Structure 1
Amino acid sequence: MLDIKYIRENKEKVVKNTANRGVDSNKADVEKLLSIYDNYHNLLVEIENLRSERNKYSKENKEENREKGKELKIELKGKEDELNRLEGEMNQILAWIPNILSDDTPIGKNEDDNVDVKVWLPDKGYLEQTQLGKGFEVADKMPRLSFKGKDHVELGKTLNIIDIEQSALVSGSRFCYLKKDAVLLQYAIFDLLFSELIKKNFTPMIVPLLVKEKVLFGTSHFPEGYSQVYKLEKENVEDNNQLYLVGSSEPPLFAYGMEKRFKESELPFKMCAFTSCFRSEVGSWGKDVKGIKRVHQFDKLEMDVICLPEQTDKIFEELISINEWLMQSLKLPYRVIQKCSGDAGYNASHKQYDVEVWRMPVEEFMETMTDTNTTDYQARRLNIRYQKNNGDKGFCYTVNDTGVAMGRIILAILENYQQEDGSVIVPEVLRKWMGKDKIVKNE
């Protein structure tokens, strides 16, 4: 969250930023917050004075002084209760005030206002900057199939590697069975990226997939993303803590640093985790319901970094370069876009890039990775701090990145590498894991 002192000193900027991001001003009411803060601060002074006065009387043995001390104790209790109430109201508003966007974030309302940063094609490399645009203007420069292609749903069924009908019987809509070569593809992609992350000194982690509410609040997935998360029945939890299934390994990864102070020599602390992720997808019902593009359960290799403030820009660029390395290794056409103010992700984001793969048979872009600089927004909530060798202290910065969402990359490989005879060429870089260069129908 933002520091309330920063909000007071930069009120107009915070109000404008909140409006640019499309956050509900009734929930993120800056004027109300500052009014409550003034009352809170004044009441805090009163309480300190009362405590001092009470302590003075408590040291004296005269009957009238003892009575006065009792009166002050009762008055103090009432004011402390009021202080707690005001603090709760402040925190409720603070939870909705979003992070300040970077100066270079485009101002816009939705995905149509996102701006191309780079576009890469397997046979051409990067397009010139003069060829880039915003929204979907660059689509006409992307490659097409020379024949009428199939989408991944039809390919998966024909090749007998994706079964959506059976998963519907087992779990309902938006689930799937991957099998045979689809599974081999997933683990080949994982090995490719995971090996690279180990070379780059990422610490591999196996994390809890059930977390407490304070963890999801800490990473800013709560309160705004509450409806996207699966909640366990409380009576089924051993120690009576309310637990939630994670929609990403980002919350448990950053919570590893919760309530810790890192030495300068320990930063940046780079982590990665491969987990299943669970999302309700409320708000997208009826959209992308076919196939494995938008499902309730998917597997993802996440890259997250805790760092010093001055390291954050370099880390942000390092993570997006890893995203690009993977896409280029797989020879998938893609673009990197900078998200505009109205489409900049959850409230913690300060600057956000998406990597979007081009799907040739349906001729559209699809998000595959997201790289987000959250400055100290998450670290303040989680109380992740640093102390430098010279004694300087402060809140760490955090940067998170979708290393690879497996289902979507598998989807892109099937669609973009399909052949007219219905087979799918295996990307060259994956063949040593797959043990084949082509996926064909296998009963």
Structure 2
Amino acid sequence: MIDVKYIRENKKEVENGIKAKGFKVDIDSVLELDGKRGVLRKQIEELNAERKKNAETKNIETGKKIKEKIAKLENDEKILDEKIYDILRKLPNLPLPEVPVGKDEIENVVLREVGEKPKFNFPADILPLSKTLEKNHLEADAFQVFAGGLELIRAGYLDYNEDEMYHLEKDDLYLIGTSEQAIAAMHMNEILEAKKLPLRYAGFSSCFRREAGSYGKDTKGILRVHQFDKIEMFSFFEPENSKKEHEFLLSMEEKLMQALQIPYRVLQMCTGDLGFQAANKYDIEAWLPGQNQYRETHSTSNDTEFQSRRLNIKYKNLKTGKNEFVHTLNGTAFAIGRMIIAIMENYQQKDGVVKIPTVLEGYIK
């Protein structure tokens, strides 16, 4: 959520940032409501001062009338608060200055490519390869079950939004799309101690998203599914150091890919592909020889104070002595299903066997 004061003082910047993300929002309406709220607040303060003076004269009737006026104005103010909040919660986070401007994923910037792509004269993607191994049956659309030694792994990955969440109507609960949602709320309405920052968490969870295999894309296999398992990293950080933390999360993701010796590339998302809450975002895409293309396996986002403002998560700034909003950041450690695809395709052998990455050999018996 964006601070309405910041919007008022930086209207053009906010308008340009929202436009660069591809959203259309009426900024003038929230500023008009905020102006009315300011007038009400001034009237309430004046009446409170008047009530204080009246208390000295002990005029009960006048005091009663002032109290009634204040109550009415405070109710009007509450209504305006709700209207302003309703608009603010629909505003996307603003992109940081270093984010490249672009309309969609086509204009994302490739920062680097790492690793040597394997060359096969027998490339197979995961479907025929898995049939050869007789380990999995992956033909079903969106939901899948692993067999053999993979029973406990249900995986995949895709982008999501509010409309893509599963709602349990009977219980009025939602199935999470990522453990980020649960971790972010762990410190809701808290003031964190500066000396304890940063707070870094890792969460493993099953994730549920509605839009899977849609529009004819990835309709078979485990690349894009409704239910999958994912390990997520999450950080609560001081604002002045959040950019460094973002680079740290990216470096952790790269170390995991390098340990598996899977070729990959790093992209910086352009403004039009940042999504709703990210101020800056990187993606890692693994090379899939069976598809002869890179596919997303990781992402990491700096959401600045966008989440913490809504969740009311602050820290005591020792320099200013004020309680200020922390920055929140998140990053994928592993989206299990997609990493299985990357391993199977990059480590396949001519006879249909899949080699185990060296770093995993000690875990396979």
Q: Given the two structures, how large is their TM-score scaled by the length of structure 1?
A: 0.76
1:402 is paired with a residue whose SS is: strand
* CA drift at 1:388: 4.0
Q: Does 1:287 align with 2:180?
A: no
Task: Write the distance in 1 (CA, Å) between the matches of 2:111 and 2:118.
Answer: 18
Task: Write the distance in 2 (CA, Å) between the matches of 1:427 and 1:383.
Answer: 44
Task: Write the distance in 1 (CA, Å) between the matches of 2:70 and 2:20.
Answer: 42
Deviations 1:235-284 (A, max 9, x none): x4xxxxx4211111101112112111222221111110111111112793
1:420 to 317, 330, 350: 350
Q: Does 1:174 align with 2:149?
A: no
Q: How does 1:106-121 map to 2 (within 5 A)?
A: 106-121=100-115
Q: Does 1:92 align with 2:79?
A: no
Q: Does 1:378 align with 2:288?
A: no
Change (3 A) 1:231 1:285: farther
1:425 is paired with a residue whose SS is: coil
The equivalent residue for 2:128 is 154
The equivalent residue for 1:13 is 13
The equivalent residue for 1:206 is none
Q: Given that residues 281 and 301 in structure 2 are in contact (C-alpha distance below 8 angstroms), is that contact kept between their aligned partners in structure 1?
A: yes
Task: Write the distance in 2 (CA, Å) between the matches of 1:402 and 1:183.
Answer: 22
The equivalent residue for 1:225 is 161
Task: Write the distance in 1 (CA, Å) between the matches of 2:135 and 2:213.
Answer: 29
AA aligned to 1:41 is G
Q: Given that residues 288 and 294 in structure 1 are in contact (C-alpha distance below 8 angstroms), is that contact kept between their aligned partners in structure 2?
A: yes
Task: Write the distance in 2 (CA, Å) between the matches of 1:362 and 1:287.
Answer: 13
Q: How does 1:211-250 map to 2 (within 5 A)?
A: 225-234=161-170, 236=171, 242-250=172-180
Task: Write the distance in 2 (CA, Å) between the matches of 1:38 and 1:344.
Answer: 31
Deviations 1:111-154 (A, max 9, x none): 110001110124xxxxxxxxxxxxxxxxxxx554322x222122
AA aligned to 1:404 is F
The alignment yields a C-alpha RMSD, in angstroms, of 2.4
Task: Write the distance in 1 (CA, Å) between the matches of 2:67 and 2:56.
Answer: 14
1:24 is paired with a residue whose SS is: coil
Unaligned runs of 5+ in 1: 123-141, 188-220, 237-241, 436-443
Q: Given that residues 316 and 371 in structure 1 are in contact (C-alpha distance below 8 angstroms), is that contact kept between their aligned partners in structure 2?
A: yes
1:247 is paired with a residue whose SS is: coil
Task: Write the distance in 2 (CA, Å) between the matches of 1:143 and 1:92.
Answer: 51
Q: Given that residues 354 and 369 in structure 1 are in contact (C-alpha distance below 8 angstroms), is that contact kept between their aligned partners in structure 2?
A: yes
2:114 is paired with a residue whose SS is: strand
The equivalent residue for 2:278 is 349
Identity of paired residues, percent?
39
Q: Given that residues 260 and 357 in structure 2 are in contact (C-alpha distance below 8 angstroms), is that contact kept between their aligned partners in structure 1?
A: yes
Q: Given that residues 379 and 397 in structure 1 are in contact (C-alpha distance below 8 angstroms), is that contact kept between their aligned partners in structure 2?
A: yes
1:424 is paired with a residue whose SS is: coil
The equivalent residue for 2:294 is 365
Change (3 A) 1:418 1:182: farther
Task: Write the distance in 2 (CA, Å) between the matches of 1:116 and 1:243.
Answer: 39
Task: Write the distance in 1 (CA, Å) between the matches of 2:212 and 2:65.
Answer: 53
AA aligned to 1:226 is E
Change (3 A) 1:353 1:153: same
Q: Given that residues 144 and 361 in structure 1 are in contact (C-alpha distance below 8 angstroms), is that contact kept between their aligned partners in structure 2?
A: no
* CA drift at 1:404: 0.7
Change (3 A) 1:388 1:77: closer
AA aligned to 1:178 is F
Deviations 1:155-187 (A, max 9, x none): 22332222245xx5xxxx411112324459x69
* CA drift at 1:371: 0.8
Change (3 A) 1:320 1:104: same
The equivalent residue for 1:211 is none
Moved more, 175-184 or 15-24: 175-184
Task: Write the distance in 1 (CA, Å) between the matches of 2:81 and 2:216.
Answer: 41
Q: Given that residues 142 and 213 in structure 2 are in contact (C-alpha distance below 8 angstroms), is that contact kept between their aligned partners in structure 1?
A: no
2:336 to 406, 411, 433: 406
Deviations 1:281-319 (A, max 9, x none): 279353222111111110111111111112212211111
* CA drift at 1:110: 0.7
Q: Given that residues 276 and 297 in structure 1 are in contact (C-alpha distance below 8 angstroms), is that contact kept between their aligned partners in structure 2?
A: yes
Q: Given that residues 212 and 225 in structure 2 are in contact (C-alpha distance below 8 angstroms), is that contact kept between their aligned partners in structure 1?
A: no
Q: Given that residues 213 and 220 in structure 2 are in contact (C-alpha distance below 8 angstroms), is that contact kept between their aligned partners in structure 1?
A: no
1:146 is paired with a residue whose SS is: coil
Change (3 A) 1:227 1:282: farther
The equivalent residue for 1:299 is 229
Deviations 1:35-79 (A, max 9, x none): 1110111011112223443555566566xx51x444444443433
Change (3 A) 1:57 1:264: closer
Task: Write the distance in 1 (CA, Å) between the matches of 2:212 and 2:120.
Answer: 34
Task: Write the distance in 2 (CA, Å) between the matches of 1:280 and 1:110.
Answer: 22
Task: Write the distance in 1 (CA, Å) between the matches of 2:267 and 2:346.
Answer: 21
Q: Given that residues 118 and 346 in structure 2 are in contact (C-alpha distance below 8 angstroms), is that contact kept between their aligned partners in structure 1?
A: no
Q: Given that residues 213 and 219 in structure 2 are in contact (C-alpha distance below 8 angstroms), is that contact kept between their aligned partners in structure 1?
A: no
Q: Given the two structures, how large is their TM-score scaled by the length of structure 2?
A: 0.91
